[in-house]
Amino acid sequence: MPEITVGILEDEAAQAQLLCSWLTDEGYAVFHCDNGEAFLQKLAAQPADILILDWQLPDCEGIDILAHLRETLCFDGPVIFATAKDSEEDIVRGLATGADDYLIKPLRRAELLARLSAVWRRSGRELPQVLELGPIRLDLAENRAFVDGQAVSLKPTEFKLAACVLANQGKLLSRQQLLREVWGVDAELDTRTVDMHMSKVRRILKIGPNMGYCIKTIYRHGYRLEAL
């Protein structure tokens, strides 16, 4: 996926650190604020694609921030509440005010990431129809790949992997992230499966020193597409 920015409003330092760690590990860009005023100022300077809001904050309530975002700032991106407020009344109020999802603390990593991915898909944000890098061109609408204007053959999984890599130039892609994005699974596959497919993508798209780019293997972490 292209880089998605998540803005987090959370006043508990340990919880905020955990959220930031989970999301950055998955390739999201993240910023965090611990109060409503700073959060709104940050949003004005650095727009976000998805927001995660706590409800109980030192200077305001997250529900009021949400109402301001929807009604005054016309923010139309996905918003998730992550809060200890667990009554049915609070959940209904949060969703009615404009939240796309509602998670009750303590948060669970896999569930949060799955919910985040789901609200992003429902938001209708799409990948561009064409991805280009040097001589490489991927037509996402037709699932066709070209190098120097010549069509090359990529199997469906190889094409999805190539699109994921090209859409995330300069960003570390963990094997777990690639398993979710390309294979659609959370369980561990033999890591040789990922490595084998990445090797094929490198070879078929001719990604290497002659092209000016490389897919660098980051030991024990994953891969990163880099300009040489």
Which regions of the chain carry the CATH code 1.10.10.10?
Answer: 130-227
Joined tokens for residue 73 = 């700032």
Q: Tell me how crowded residue 63 is: count the other CB atoms within 10 A of its CB.
A: 21
Q: How far is Cα 113 from Cα 25, in angstroms, rounded to an integer?
A: 11
Average of pLDDT values for 46-66? 92
Contact 192, 202 (CB under 8 A): no
Q: How far is Cα 178 from Cα 67, in angstroms, rounded to an integer?
A: 36
* pLDDT tens, residue by residue, 139-184: 987 889 999 999 999 999 999 999 989 988 887 888 877 887 787 7
In this predicted structure, what is the pLDDT of residue 1? Answer: 46
Among 1.10.1200.10, 3.40.228.10, 3.30.390.30, 3.40.50.2300, name the CATH number for the domain at 5-122: 3.40.50.2300
Topology classification of domain 130-227? Arc Repressor Mutant, subunit A (1.10.10)
The percentage of the chain sitting over the pLDDT mark of 90, rounded to a whole number, equals 59
Helix (H) or strand (E) holding 33: strand 29-33
* pLDDT tens, residue by residue, 81-106: 999 999 999 999 999 999 999 999 99
Average of pLDDT values for 24-29? 86
